[in-house]
Amino acid sequence: MLKLQNTILEMIAKGASLDTTCRAMCEEVERLLPNVVCSVLTVDDAGRMHPLAAPSLPEIYSAALDGVESGPLAGSCGTAAYLRTDIAVRDIETDIRWAAFKHLALPHGFRACWSSPIVSAEGDVVATFAFYYRRARGPTTFEREVVASCVHLSLIAIERHDRVVEHQRRAFTDALTRLPNRAAYNAALAGLEDRETGSWALLVLDIDNLKVVNDTFGHHAGDCLLQIASDRIATALPNSRTFRIGGDEFAIILTSPEDLHDLDAAAGHILAALAVSADCGGHFVIPRATIGGAIQSADEPVVERVRQNADFALYHAKETGRGGFIRYWSGLGSIMTRRLAAIREVTAALREDRIEAYYQPIFRLDTREVVGLEALCRMRVGDTVMSAASFHEATTDAHVATALTARMMGLVAADVRRWLDMGIPFQHVGINVSSADLSGGTIEETMTFAFEREGVPLEHVILEVTETVYMGRGDQAVQQAIGNLRDKGIRVALDDFGTGYASLTHLLTLPVDVLKIDKTFVDHLDTDGVSSTIIESLIRIARKMDIRIVAEGIESEEQVDQLLAIGCVLGQGFVFAPAVPREAATAFLMYQGQHAARPARDADAP
C-alpha cells in the first residue's frame, strides 16, 4: 500500500498526465491484488461515463461503456455515480442493475463488480473506481482499504488535471471573445507542419472600424463589436478554427475541402456575415473587415511562409481597398518586401535627419513673378537627393506618412520664418498631406505646433491633398477633416485634379480654395482641343466659386501661351524651375517674388 501511494503521488508531483497516472495506479493495484481487474471511468457534467484507465479490460468492452449515462440501472459504475455511493454487485448475471449490460461483461468472464464514486470537494461525482471479479463475490476488508486509498489518490490526480486544464484554457483563450488566442493560434500552426500539401489555408482579418467605434461610442461599444464580430466570423465557416490574435485581428485556419476549393467564397461568407447591423450597447454599427488569405501549396509548404503570405495579402488589401479580400499571389511577396525595405530606409532617414524640403515655385504666367511655393519632400542618401516618388511605397505606412508630414511641417515653418525675417514679401507655401494625416485627426495639431513654434501665421500655409486621397474609397472621415480645417480658416488645395475621380459636380461639394490641374491635361494641349476645353471650363467655374486654378507640369513656352490664351494665369513646371533647395528658392523669392504692394489681379494666388 505504501509503495502504491508513493508511486502515484510522485507521478502527480512530477506532472504525469491523468490517464498515465490512473493506468499506473490500476497496474499497481492489480499487482497487489492479482484476482481483481481495475477500472477508472470519468463522469462528465451530463452524467455520461468515459473510460480513463483499464489496462486489463478488453478494449471492446471499454469502448462499449463510452458515453453510457449514469442511472439507477446502469451497472455498478453507472449506479454508483448516480446514487453517489459504492455499489457491490455480487452476481452480474442475476442483478437487475446489470440487466442491460451483462451481455457485455459475462462473455469476458466477469461475474461480479464493485464500484465506488469519486466525489470532488464541491460534491460532484467526477469519476468511479471499480473492481471486476471473475467469480461471484463482494469486496474484502483489505480491498476496501485499497479502494479507499485509490479513490483519494484518484481525486488528487483529477483535481490537479482540472487545474492544469483550466490554466491552459485561460492561457489559450481570449477573455473577451472566448475564442482561442494568439498562443493557441501559434500552437495550432505548429500542429500543421506535417500536413500534406494543399490541405489547409489561412485567412487573416482586421476589423476596420473598431477604433472609430471606440472613439465615438466608447470602449464598451467597441468590446461589444468585437464579441459580435467574433461570433459571426466563427460561425460563418463552421468547419474552420477561428482565433483572436490581437486587438482587432483574427485568424481563421481552414481545412475543409469545400473551403479550400474556393477561398474567395469562404472569405465572402465571412464578409457577408459581418455586413449586418449590430446593436452595440444601443448604437447600431455594421462591422467592417478586410481579409487577406493564403493557401499551403507545393511552392509554399512551410507554415511560417503561409502565415507571412497571408499577412502580406492583408496588408495589400488594406492599402488597395479596405472592406474586401485579397488572396496571396507569387508577386505580392516582392511588392511587400520592397515596401518594408522602403519603410526601413525612410525611418532611418527620419532618425538621421536626412529628410529635406525642396520648393517648386508657382509663377504668374504673364509676368513670371513667383506668387507661392510648393514644398516637396526629398530624402538624401549619400550625395544623392531622392524624390518622394522613389520612396512612395513607404508612405503607405500610416506611421511613416505622419512622421514625414511632421518633419516637413517643421522644416517649412523654419524656412518661412527665415524668409519673413529677411523682409521677403512671402505669400504662401503648399504642403502635401496624406490620408493618414487627415484620418488620424492630428494634422491640425501638427501644423499648429510647427508654425506657432516659429511664429509663422497659418495664413502663409495651404494644405495640398490629392484628388485620389480626397475622394478615394468613399472616405468620409477625410472629407470631414478637410471641412473642419477650412472652417478654421486653413486653406486647402486639391492636387492632381483630373487623375482620380474628376467630375465638375464635385466642385459643388468639395470645400477647396485652389484646384491644381494635373500635368496630364497640360501635356495634351498640343495634340487635341479637349484638354483646352476642359481647362477653360474649369477656369470659368472656378472664378464663379472663388477658387484659384494652378496648372501643373508646364514644360514648354507653347504650353504657357496656350494656357494664357484660355485664361489660366498661374502655373508651375520645369519651363520655369524644378524643385530646388532652400537657397535657390530664396533667390527666386528675392528677385522674382510678387510684391505685396502690387495690386492683386482677379486670378492671382491668394
Q: What is the CATH number of the domain that holds 477?
A: 3.20.20.450
Cell 504525469 sits on residue: 16
Give residue-wise pLDDT tens across range 312-358.
899 888 877 678 899 988 878 777 778 888 899 999 999 999 999 99
Task: Calculate what percentage of the chain has a pLDDT beyond 70.
Answer: 93
DSSP string, 188-204: HHHTTTTSPTTS-EEEE
Per-residue pLDDT band for 489 (boundaries 50, 70, 90) equals confident
Pick the range with the lowest mean pLDDT from 13-17, 174-178, 311-315, 528-532.
Answer: 528-532
Q: Give the end of a domain, one of 116, 150, 171.
A: 171
Q: How many domains does the chain have?
A: 3
- Tell which residue, 259, 281, 284, 255, has the closest CA to residue 270: 259
| Per-residue pLDDT, 558 | 93
- Is residue 530 domain-resident? yes
| Model confidence at 539: pLDDT above 90 | no
Q: Which domain holds residue 226?
A: 182-330
Average pLDDT over residues 558-574: 93
Buried b (16+ CB within 10 A) or exposed e, 545-579: eebbbbbbbbeeeebbebbeebebbbbbbebbbeb
Q: Is the pLDDT of residue 89 over 90?
A: yes
* Strand arrangement, sheet containing 112-119: 49-53, 36-43, 125-133, 112-119, 87-89
> What's the rounded Cα separation, in Å, for the pair 296 and 256?
13
What is the distance between the alpha carbons of residues 217 and 548, in angstroms, rounded to a whole number? 40
Answer whether 231's CB lies under 8 Å from 283's CB.
Answer: no
Give the separation between CA 241 and CA 204, rounded to whole angstroms: 12
Average pLDDT, rounded, for the chain: 89
Long-range Cβ contact pairs of 45-48 (< 8 A, separation 24 or more): 47/71, 47/81, 47/82
Instruction: Please report where in the chains the cell 491668394 appears, as a residue.
Output: 606
The answer as to whether 357 is a domain residue is yes
Q: Are residues 354 and 415 in the same domain?
A: yes
Report if residue 413 sits inside a domain: yes
Residue-level pLDDT at 51:
96
Distances from the Cα of 292 to the Cαs of 88, 193, 340, 546, in angstroms? 62, 21, 17, 45
Residues 255 and 351 both lie in one domain: no
DSSP string of 132-155, one letter each residue: EESSS----HHHHHHHHHHHHHHH
The Cα–Cα gap between 388 and 308 comes to 28
* Residue 599 is assigned to a structural domain of this protein: no
Report the CATH number that the domain containing residue 320 is assigned in CATH.
3.30.70.270
570 shares its domain with 448:
yes
Q: What confidence category does residue 602 fall into, taking pLDDT thresholds of 50, 70 and 90?
A: very low
Residue 601 forms part of a structural domain:
no
Residue 362 CA to residue 382 CA, distance in Å, equals 29
Average pLDDT over residues 434-451: 85
The whole-number pLDDT of residue 592 equals 92
Asked which of 295, 330, 365 is the last residue of a domain, the reply is 330
The average pLDDT across 519-539 equals 81
Asked if the model's pLDDT at residue 528 lies above 70, the reply is: no
pLDDT of residue 380: 94
Instruction: Based on the fold, state whether residues 56 and 154 are members of the same structural domain.
Output: yes
On the question of pLDDT at 264 being above 60, the answer is yes
Q: Which residue has the higher pLDDT, 247 or 442?
A: 247
* Nearest in space to 178 (alpha carbons), one of 186, 190, 169: 169
The more confidently predicted of residues 388 and 531 is 388
pLDDT at 475 over 60: no
| Dihedral pair phi/psi, residue 183, rounded to 5° | -60, -40
- Give the three cell numbers for residue 459: 495664413
d(CA 118, CA 149): 11
- CA 428-430-435 angle, to 5 degrees, is 150
Considering the domain boundaries, does residue 270 fall inside one?
Answer: yes
φ, ψ for residue 301 (rounded to 5)? -85, -20
| Rounded Cα distance, 283 and 475, in Å | 21
Do residues 236 and 265 touch, judged by C-beta distance below 8 A? no
- Please indicate, yes or no, whether residues 101 and 233 belong to a single structural domain of this protein: no
φ, ψ dihedrals at 240, nearest 5°: -110, 175
Angle at which helices 2-13 and 141-171 pack, to 10 degrees?
A: 0
pLDDT at residue 281, as a whole number? 84
- Give the phi and the psi of residue 101 in degrees, each rounded to 5: -130, -5
C-alpha cell, 294: 493564403
Per-residue model confidence (pLDDT) at position 473: 47
**pLDDT computed for residue 597 by the predictor:** 39
| Domain identity same for 35 and 92 | yes
Query: What pLDDT was estimated at residue 403?
Result: 94
Residue 90's CATH number? 3.30.450.40
Q: Quick one: pLDDT at residue 605?
A: 46
Neighbours of 96 (CB within 10 A): 9
518 in a structural domain: yes
Write the pLDDT tens digit of every residue in 55-74: 999 999 999 999 999 999 99
DSSP code, position 208: T
Pair (378, 293) in one structural domain: no
The Cα–Cα gap between 587 and 135 comes to 114
Work out the pLDDT band at 299, boundaries 50, 70, 90.
low
CA distance 404 to 342: 13
Same domain, 326 and 353: no
Do 206 and 294 sit in the same domain of this protein?
A: yes
Beta strand segments in 388-446, E: 429-432
pLDDT at 47: 94
Q: Do 236 and 93 belong together in one domain?
A: no
Q: What Rg, from alpha-carbon coordinates, does the chain have?
A: 38
**Chain position carrying cell 511632421:** 406
pLDDT for 300: 67
Q: What is the pLDDT of residue 541?
A: 84
Indicate if the pLDDT at residue 214 is higher than 60.
yes
Rounded mean pLDDT of 442-459?
92
Could you tell me if residue 199 is inside a domain? yes
Judged by DSSP in three states, 576 sits in coil
Which of 302, 330, 358 is the C-terminal boundary of a domain?
A: 330
The end-to-end CA distance of the chain, in Å, is 99
The per-residue pLDDT for 336 is 74
The answer to whether residues 448 and 585 belong to one domain is: yes
Question: Do residue 153 and residue 84 come from a single domain?
Answer: yes
Name every residue whose Cβ is closer than 8 Å to that of residue 340 and which is 6 or more positions away in sequence: none
* Helices (H), ranges, 84-193: 102-105, 141-171, 182-190
pLDDT at position 527: 63
372 pLDDT tier (thresholds 50, 70, 90) = very high
